[in-house]
Amino acid sequence: MNDEQTMNLEMNSERVNNEFWIDRSGKVHKYKGDLSKTIISFHHEIGQALFPQSQRPTDVLFNLGWCAIGSVVYNVPIMHKEPSQAQVNTLDELGWLNRLNILDNGYYVRYANSML
């Protein structure tokens, strides 16, 4: 293993547990591939494994109502649809529910505030 692969492995080993998807049934989907390669987005890599024919797999998952947890860009969970009860339960168990943001009219709003 060369120095770049070693560095990637160390960095990605930390990221893999913090960047994942939660599907509508509440199941957590984490990256299961090679951690020694350069990975820009675990969300994209997971989506690509699930929908290899798609050019925009993260858009597919958002359109299906999946929740993205952790990111280089967003430090809060984000969704493009209202969460299912199973997702709410999983987010609560993982300690992310109070930070959930949902896309509403082009803006992300805090889920707790949208319930008022």
User: What mean pLDDT is predicted for residues 107-112?
Assistant: 88
What are the pLDDT digits (tens) for 62-89?
A: 999 999 998 766 788 999 999 999 999 9
Q: In this predicted structure, what is the pLDDT of residue 113? A: 61
Q: In this predicted structure, what is the pLDDT of residue 114? A: 60
User: What mean pLDDT is predicted for residues 1-9?
Assistant: 77
Query: Can you spell out the DSSP letters for 10-36?
Result: HHHHHHTTTSEEE-TTS-EE---S-TT
Say if CB 18 and CB 70 are below 8 A apart.
yes
Q: In this predicted structure, what is the pLDDT of residue 85? A: 96
**Strand 107-110 vs strand 28-29: parallel, antiparallel, or unpaired?**
unpaired
Of the candidates 40, 25, 101, the residue with the CA atom closest to the CA atom of residue 68 = 101
Residue 116 has pLDDT above 60, yes or no: no
Q: Residue 16 half-sphere exposure, CB side, CA atoms within 13 Å?
A: 17
User: What mean pLDDT is predicted for residues 24-35?
Assistant: 94
